[in-house]
A and B are shown apart, each in its own frame.
Chain A
Amino acid sequence: MEITALYYLLPALFMFCAGVYGFITRKNMIAMLISLELMLNGVDMNFVIFNRFLFPGSMEGMYFTLFAIGIAAAETAVAIAIIVNLFRSKGNVDVTGLNEMKF
């Protein structure tokens, strides 16, 4: 048996789908954020895998992932700051209550 690109891609896809499920179903904002991280991670993996299998000579996919990790960290930090702030003002982290800014 040979482990082809598909074998790496399918777990990544699965992780992404799990993230999608989590993001849509969970009401806790931190849980949503965790789902988001899962999705992001799945996508990162795709970059790396494609890079490795299709263009082994170059490193763009790796760099992309590198930057994505950095930005994900920043984004998480801001998101958590917002969540914490929201918790302070509303007393919970339930996303369904947050619709003041609709329309």
Chain B
Amino acid sequence: MESVGSIIMYAVVALTIVICSVLAVTTRKILRSATYLLFTLFATAAIYFMLDYEFLGGVQIAVYAGGIVVLFVFAILLTSRPGHDSEKLTSRSRRTGLVAAVATAIVCGWSLCSRSALMAGLPQMSNPDMKLIGARLLSSDAGGLLLPFEAVSVLLLACIIGAVVIGRRR
């Protein structure tokens, strides 16, 4: 049995996620959409904190909320004028989208709800220690993640170069 505080906390966070994500995809002002995305990301970070992954939550806020959303904002400012709305959705495209979303929700929701394993409570876990995370990330032993780490670093490099090349004014 959880404490009432954590239940309230959960309800707030979950509601934020639900509402903001819906708003993010339905609002016609693109800048608002980015803002709702920011809220959703923060709420996600909150979930991570609630699940005792503080480091991950931190990364989420720093990279996603801090980095990516800023990128979005810049991009939006570069590609649209203030007050410029997105076009109105046609009912047909709205219907397609809704069908897709609802179908996904039904299939996934049904398959989630039919698993009894997901009805278990939160097991005990000590917070992952920063040192442990770092060591694991840079270890080449069994279970070490040096290779993906390096691969990602190369990928990031490639992305940087790619972004520069693509974005460069010709």
Contacts and interface: CB of A to CB of B under 8 A. Distances in A.
Verify whether A and B have any Cβ pair under 8 Å: yes
Interface of A: 1-22, 24-28, 30-31, 33-35, 37-38, 41, 44-45, 48-49, 52-54, 56-57, 59, 62-63, 65-67, 69-78, 80-85, 87-88, 92-94
Contacts of A18: 21-22, 24-25, 101
Contact of B104 (A16, A45, A56, A71): A16
A1 B3 CA distance: 9
A41 B41 contact: yes
A73 B44 contact: no
Contacts of A22: 24-26, 97
Contact of A77 (B18, B79, B137, B159): B159
B37 A2 contact: no
A89 to B, nearest CB: 9
Nearest to B106: A17
Nearest to A37: B37
Given A4-B119, A52-B51, A41 B44 contact: yes
For the residues of B in contact with A, the DSSP-based class is helix
B71 to A, nearest CB: 6
A41 B65 CA distance: 11
Given A56-B124, A84-B79, A45 B44 contact: yes
A99 B60 CA distance: 35
B87 A13 contact: no
B44 A77 contact: no
Contact of B17 (A5, A11, A71, A80): A11
17 contacts: A11-B14, A11-B17, A13-B105, A14-B17, A15-B40, A26-B89, A48-B48, A53-B118, A53-B122, A57-B125, A59-B128, A67-B152, A76-B72, A81-B164, A92-B79, A93-B79, A93-B80
